[in-house]
Each structure stands twice: as C-alpha cells, then as structure tokens.
Amino acid sequence: MAIWADEGIRLLVQGITGHQGVFHTRAMMDFGTSVVAGVTPGKRGQEVHGVPVYNTVEEAMVQEPNASIVFVPAAFTKDAVMEALDAGIKLVVVITEGVPFHDAMTFIHYGMYKGARIIGPNCPGLASPGRAKIGILPNVIFKKGHIGVASRSGTLTYEIVNALSEAGIGQSTCIGLGGDPVIGSTFIDALAAFEQDDETDAIVLVGEIGGTAEEEAAEYIEKHVSKS
C-alpha cells in the first residue's frame, strides 16, 4: 500500500476554477486521481474537465470526497481549510504559500481536534505512483516502487525523485511537507507512516535551511525506524 494517498482517494479541489486549480486538476486526473468535485463560491453549476463545481464544501459533499486540495489566496486559506474540516474531510493538502502563521496554527490545531491530517501550507503535496496524486508535483518524474520520500523543499523533491526514477529506483509515496515554520505534518509523521508501510523498503528525507526538524527526525530514526 501507500501512505496518505492511494486508490481510495476521492478528491475535492477548493479553488478549482482559478488558473492553478484548472491546470493541476487536469494533471492530477492524468496521474490517475479520482477528482470528484470542486468548490468556488458563486460558480455552482459549472464544470472543470467534467468535474462539477459547487459553491461550498457542504454542497460538494454529495459527491462523497474524502480529501481536499486548497488552491485559494492566502487571505482566504484558513476559512477554506476550516470549511473542509467542518464538512468531515480527513485529509487536506494546502498548496497556498504566504499563509499567515497564526492562520496556519489555527487550522492545524483545529485539524488535530477533528482527527484530520493536514499537509502544508506552502507545499507541493504528495504522490503515490500508480495510485493517486494530490498536489502540483510533475507527473513525469515518478516511477512506482518501494522508496518513501519526505521533503521540506519542493524543488529538491522534484530533483531527487527524478534522479531516483532515472536510476530505476521507484517510489511508494513522495511527500512535500512544506518549508514554512508551521506545517501540519512533519518528518516524524512521515517516518512513522513509512515505517508501518509494507511497500516501503527505505526512506529518503530532504531537509531545508532553518528550524530543528532534521535533528528531531534523526533522534526519532535512531529510536523508532528500522528502514535505512
């Protein structure tokens, strides 16, 4: 299996009618992701690549999404994430950069209260080759296999995954956690999930300047991770 994104994903795209929403919805569908609904206030009744658009997440729940990706401006990101969480969505991937720290802290804490997983903000999302992608990572760089990748850097994620694939080394799941000081999922969250995943044989971590995430991950690996 993969972690956090698999064949069972039914994806909601918040901000689907914007430029980024339109472009990346098509790319995620081409990757194999089941995109079942989109939300843009005031756009109900439209379609994007055949995906029905609704005014609110509550309305879109008729399509039974179980994950959401957020492509809305930073000033409105907190409200979008909270709306998804209130509707019962248990996986929210926040692509938006420039989200105020207090806003991020608010919706991350609320996600914990709701028992949901948040990835981001300011992240490229995640992809499980052959299964699903929730994010903006390029489709062409992936190869299905048994290496888990977790990264704080978007562009370095692309480079390292592409290098792995070109060397014939496939991936189980690749996660761009985000480089902001406040993020919903950490190296330790990814390490714990990969350690329990039968299809992940080894793990690659990609660090970033700033903070202590890498040091904390190293301590966790020493105590809890058997996969080299």
pLDDT in tens, 166-206: 999 999 999 999 989 999 999 999 999 999 999 999 999 99
Res. 10: pLDDT tops 90: yes
Q: Residue 1: is its pLDDT beyond 70?
A: no
Work out how many domains the chain is built from and give that number: 2
Question: How many C-alpha atoms does 57 have within 13 Å on its Cβ side?
Answer: 23
Is the same domain home to 55 and 151?
A: no
At residue 208 the predicted structure's pLDDT band, cuts being 50, 70 and 90, is confident
User: What confidence tens digit (pLDDT) does each residue in 25-52 have?
Assistant: 999 999 999 999 999 999 999 999 999 9
Residue 74: in which H helix or E strand, if any? helix 74-86
Of 94, 119, 144, which one is at a domain's C-terminal end?
119
Residues 85 and 56 in one domain: yes
| Inter-CA distances, 15 with 12, 74, 185, Å | 10, 12, 22
The predicted structure's pLDDT at residue 154: 87
pLDDT reported for residue 2: 84
List the CATH number of the domain containing 139.
Answer: 3.40.50.261
The pLDDT of residue 27 is: 99
Q: Are residues 134 and 112 in the same domain?
A: no
Is residue 55 domain-resident? yes
Model confidence over 92-107: pLDDT tens digits? 999 999 999 999 999 9
Beta strand spans in 81-222 (E): 91-94, 117-119, 125-128, 132-135, 144-151, 171-176, 202-206
Per-residue pLDDT of 53-69, as tens digits, reads 999 999 999 999 999 99
Q: Which has the higher per-residue pLDDT, 228 or 138?
A: 138
What domain range is 107 assigned to?
10-119
Percentage of the chain beyond pLDDT 70 is: 99
Do residue 97 and residue 155 come from a single domain? no
**Same structural domain for residues 64 and 91?**
yes
State yes or no: pLDDT of 224 exceeds 70: yes
Residue 134 and residue 158: Cα distance in Å, rounded? 15
Which tokens go with 117?
């997983």
Q: Both 83 and 166 in a single domain?
A: no
Question: Phi and psi at residue 156, in whole multiples of 5°?
Answer: -65, -30
Mean pLDDT in residue range 152-171: 96
- Whether residues 62 and 24 share a domain: the answer is yes
- Write the CATH number for 108: 3.40.50.720
